[in-house]
Each structure stands twice: as C-alpha cells, then as structure tokens.
Chains A and B, each alone.
With several copies, the nearest count.
Chain A
Amino acid sequence: MSATTPRVGVITFPGSLDDRDALRAVETMGGAGIPLWHADADLHEVDAVVLPGGFSYGDYLRCGAIARFARVMDEVRGFAARGGPVLGICNGFQILCESGLLPGALIRNASLRFVCRPVHLRVERSDSAVTRDLVAGEVLEIPVKHGEGQFVARPDELALLEDEGLVVFRYASQGGEVDAAHNPNGAVAGIAGVCNRAGNVVGLMPHPEHAVDPDVGPVGGQPLFSSLLAAAMARV
C-alpha cells in the first residue's frame, strides 16, 4: 500500500452490521479500510470516517439514540469540526442526526414495514464529501434496506435545510423524477441524504457499500466512494 493511499476508518458499534461491507467497499475502490471500535478514544489517524449501517444497540429506544454516546463519537465530532470527511450510511446516518451533526431525524417508514430493494437517487449537489465526482442531476442506482428511514424535519428546519442546499440525494425515478411512487419510505421531499453546511459530513439511507461490486448488485455506490476517497486524499 503506498503512502498516499487514503485511510478510511469504519466504526463498529455493538449491533453494526454492514461494517465489514463498508471496509470491503473502501478496499475495492482503492482505499485502505481501517476498523475503528466504538469504545476507543482514537481515530487511528484516518483521513475519512464511515459510520456503517446496521442496528446499533438493536435500534432500541430510537435508532442511533444510544450509539451517539459512544466514546469514539467525541473524536468524530472533533474530526468533523476540523473538516474531515464523515459518511453515515443508514444507521450511521441516524447516529449522525441523533448526534446533532446532521439536521433532521429518521422515523418509521410510512408503510411501517422494513424495505429492501434497489432505488434510484438523484444527486442534488456535487460539492459534498461523497459527490465531488458527480454532477447535480445524475441518477444512481443503490439499494435501500431499512425499517426507519423516513426523513423528517420540523417545517422551519426543513425550509432552512432546502434554502441552504443541504439535501444531497433524493429518491427519484430512473429518469430523475422525484415523486411518491419512487419514494420507498415516505421521506419528506423525497430526501434520501443530507449534509452539514460545510458539506464534509454526509448521511444517507441507501447503502452505497452494497453498490460497488457488479456481481452482487448495482454499482451506483462507486462514485460515492471514489468521491469520499478523493476527499480523504486531500487530507493525506
């Protein structure tokens, strides 16, 4: 591994499930995947952090409610404040919202059922940590799998979020149309992913780590990881 391979840390919380998958995706896309442990007070000098999918603490009480108090989250907060790229996937997104690092919250799907299927996402901005290799308006195919992925925000918060352009991805048709028929969970305004004001912290419900290997699914996650690696590279 060359000295310039970006190091991407993937945090394992008790109940994380897609942590190995995220590490594999990082490696597939040319990065060095570094396992991080929830109880550690150390990010091991990584250049980017991924909070993976799963059911941390069983999703008991609320998704992400308990994991946000993990010791490692103090480090993640500091890393994010210094501009470090942070990606939260599914449960990782929920943890970032619970931590206040991202706006909004995620509640039960409108159907009240878990849903696992490929969806299409429209890229809304090309300057976040995971979309710098993309252009706004592009459509990616990536699977979702969640029971509590309905993005919600108070009306005032939602208006602010839209005004500031913090929406990174929306559920859409293959042609890029955002409508109820292509929204798997009832998310307000079709919101699938958001970022913070600086654009370095991004969360999304779909699973890009399950969309890099063409043998087992679509490949819409590849540009997200290549963008994340580029953002990490900028810090090497």
Chain B
Amino acid sequence: MTAYSFEVLVSLKPGLSDPQGRAVEGSLPALGWTNVADVRVGTHIRFTVDAADEPAARAQVAQMAERLLSNPVIEDYRIIGEPSL
C-alpha cells in the first residue's frame, strides 16, 4: 500500500450567489485592486489515501468528493493529485 496525497477543490456552481466571493470582491477596490473580477470562494480539502495504486486511490477520492466533500445540488468539485506543497 502507498499513501497518495490529494486535494479536492469545491466551489459553488456558476449562477448561484456566492456571499463570500461578493464580500471579497467588494473589499478589493478599497485596497487599490480594481482589476479583479469573478471572485468565487470555496472549500479546499487535503488528505492522504492509502491504496494499492493511484487509479484505485483516485476512484475513491471521486466517490468521497461526490458523497461527502461536496453537495452536488449546488457545488462542483475538482480533484488534484499529489500537490506540490
């Protein structure tokens, strides 16, 4: 078994209001940044999975993202393997 590192990035679906994103965007001009747009704030979950191989690990991560880490009614997710951090 090997420990594989993953990150799952979860964000609200396009078209849904994003109060945190709006707040960040609203505070930027006062700090002198007027050239930023489309701010969306989401969640970012990092963890390791023990698995026989990478595809097995990745399949499990997709399941976890689908069932627990995101709410498919309002959120999309994206998986990143082996982060550089």
Contact = CB atoms under 8 A, between A and B. Distances in A.
B40 to A, nearest CB: 12
Interface in A70-106: 97-98, 100, 103-105
A112 B73 contact: no
Contacts of A111: 19
Nearest to A98: B71
Nearest to A106: B74
Nearest to B41: A61
B19 A69 contact: no
B48 to A, nearest CB: 18
B1 interface: no
B30 interface: yes
A152 B16 contact: yes
A153 B71 CA distance: 12
Nearest to B31: A69
Given A97-B73, A104-B73, A154-B74, A57 B23 contact: yes
Given A109-B19, A154-B13, A154-B74, A61 B30 contact: no
Interface residues of A, number: 28
Contact of A57 (B15, B27, B43): B27
Please classify the interface of chain A as helix (H, G, I), strand (E, B), loop, or mixed, using the class held by over half of its residues: loop
Contact of B17 (A58, A61, A152): A152
A150 interface: yes
A72 B34 CA distance: 21
Contacts of A150: 17, 19
B20 A112 contact: yes
Nearest to B21: A60
Contacts of B15: 154-155
A116 to B, nearest CB: 18
Interface string B45-77: 100000000000000000000001101011000
Interface string B3-29: 000000000110111011011100100
A66 interface: yes
A4 B43 CA distance: 49
A66 B19 contact: no
A65 interface: yes
Contacts of B19: 58, 60, 107-112, 150, 186
Given A61-B41, A105-B74, A152-B74, A112 B23 contact: yes
Interface string A179-198: 00000001010000000000
A60 B43 CA distance: 11
Most interface-central of B19, B45, B68, B69 (chain A CB within 10 A): B19
Most interface-central of A60, A108, A109, A188 (chain B CB within 10 A): A60
15 contacts: A58-B23, A60-B23, A61-B69, A62-B43, A62-B71, A69-B27, A69-B30, A69-B31, A107-B17, A107-B74, A110-B19, A150-B19, A155-B15, A186-B19, A188-B17
Interface of A: 57-58, 60-62, 65-66, 69, 97-98, 100, 103-105, 107-112, 150, 152-155, 157, 186, 188
